[in-house]
Amino acid sequence: MSLMAKHSRIFWPDPQDEQVRRLNLAVEEFQVWVRTLSPASRAIEFAAALARALESGSVDEELAEAVEKAIVKTGSDAFVREGNDLQITVVAVVAALDLVREDKMAEDGWGAIDAFAAACWSALSFQGTVQKEGLEVLRDELLSTSRARVIEVAEESRVRAAVPEVGLLQIPDSTPTNARAKTAFKTAVEPLVKSLRENAELDREEIDFLWWRLSDWSAVLEKPLSSLSDANRAVYSGLECGLMLRRPPSSGHRNVALQGISSEKSFTLAELVGELEVDNEKLKAAISSDDVIAAGEVYPLLKSILSGDLKAFGSAITRSTRDWGGRALLEASVLQLNRRKGA
């Protein structure tokens, strides 16, 4: 299937077969670069860079250089970056879209593409629409595909692993004598221990989450959640729930964290921040402000609360109280998973 046949028309009115063929190869070449992004924080920064490109129409240096190299390497020797930011953006988004749709989930739900999809969902769902129609269709397709992947990963990554029996002890003749028994025992029990560790991590997440819900206590504000206004309760419940997760958030986490929160009131970003009780020192202790600032497009709510900068693209859009709570949950979980697994 040609990935670029449709989307090349965003920047070329009448693309030729050879042009499209080369761009398809460039997409595949650029995907090699994306798959090498490690740790997962680099994939989150890639999502932020894509969001900036869609918003501003200009591409960050590192991203532009990676796409330019892919295009030149696949036969377009005369291609230069200058004046081609739109083409570079489209190639990057198409490559990312295909990876989000096709690449397998990591065992722990937080491989580079899993992290990218969660960050993309956060960044693109906050943005307003972009003016160029074809690019907006592509942006919306990446957003919906990323959201669907995160929802699927949230469920599948929490399925408990089957615990196998201890394997047979096998001691190859080539193994040094003094290490034979130790090596054989480790090999025999490794699958069992791995399954037990994974299941224990999921059990701990559930226990922590249930105790937090039953306690009705905000560790950040040091007061009962039930004593807060709906806006404060939604944001701080989402934030604190996200900070305890060990996998991407599921619809169940959102529903429990936002139980009893009404959707009747809506706020712009500035209106919401004006409603919040904020203790920046406690917030900075709870979250990594450096990570938030480095990928601000992925964390527009947290960045605005910490910095007071209310000019993020999409900040004028009104969202319901529950939507703001869901956003706090998503941003905090991406931040926490990056800190726990991706740093």
Burial class (CB in 10 A: 0-12, 13-18, 19+), 309: middle
Collapsing DSSP to helix, strand or coil, 173 comes out as coil
Return the pLDDT at 50: 97
Handedness of CA 82, 83, 89, 90 (dihedral sign): negative
Amino acid letter, residue 217: W
88: tokens are: 């570079």
Measured torsion, CA atoms of residues 174, 176, 179, 185, in degrees rounded to the nearest 10: 10
Mark whether 48 and 143 lie in a shared domain.
Answer: yes
In a domain, 163, yes or no: no
Asked if the structure places residue 134 within a domain, the reply is yes
Q: Does one domain contain both 230 and 148? A: no
In a domain? residue 167: no
Q: Are residues 236 and 336 in the same domain?
A: yes
Packing angle between helix 17-35 and helix 85-102, nearest 10 degrees?
Answer: 60
Give pLDDT, residue 284. Answer: 78
Same domain, yes or no, for 52 and 150? yes
Query: What would the two tokens of residue 260 be?
Result: 């009893």
- Domain-embedded: residue 173: no
Q: What is the pLDDT along the chain (343 residues), one digit of tens a residue?
A: 578 888 999 998 888 899 899 999 999 999 999 999 888 899 999 999 999 999 999 999 999 999 999 999 998 888 888 999 999 999 999 999 999 999 999 988 999 999 999 999 999 999 999 989 999 999 999 999 999 999 999 999 999 888 777 656 565 656 565 555 566 666 667 777 788 888 899 999 999 999 999 999 999 999 999 999 999 999 999 999 999 999 999 999 999 999 999 889 999 999 999 999 887 788 878 887 888 988 999 999 999 999 888 989 999 999 999 999 999 999 999 999 998 875 5
Domain shared by 34 and 128, yes or no: yes
Residue 286 lies in a domain: yes
Domain containing residue 59: 4-156
3-state secondary structure of 25: helix
> Do 150 and 262 fall within a single domain?
no
How many separate domains does the chain show?
A: 2
- Which residue, chain included where needed, has tokens 């930011």? 85
Tell me if 151 is assigned to some domain. Answer: yes
Per-residue model confidence (pLDDT) at position 191? 72
Identify any residues that bridge with 266 across adjacent strands, giving them in sequence order: 320
Give the end of a domain, one of 129, 156, 183.
156
Q: How far apart are CA 149 and CA 175, in angstroms?
A: 44
**Bond prior to 39 in cis (omega within 30° of 0):** yes
Residue 338 contacts residue 115 (beta carbons within 8 Å): yes
pLDDT at 166: 67
172, part of any domain: no
**Looking at residue 170, what is its pLDDT?**
62
**102 and 225, same domain (yes or no):** no
DSSP 215-282: HTEETTTTEEGGGS-HHHHHHHHHHHHHTT-SSPPPHHHHHHHTTT--SS-EE-HHHHHHHS---HHH
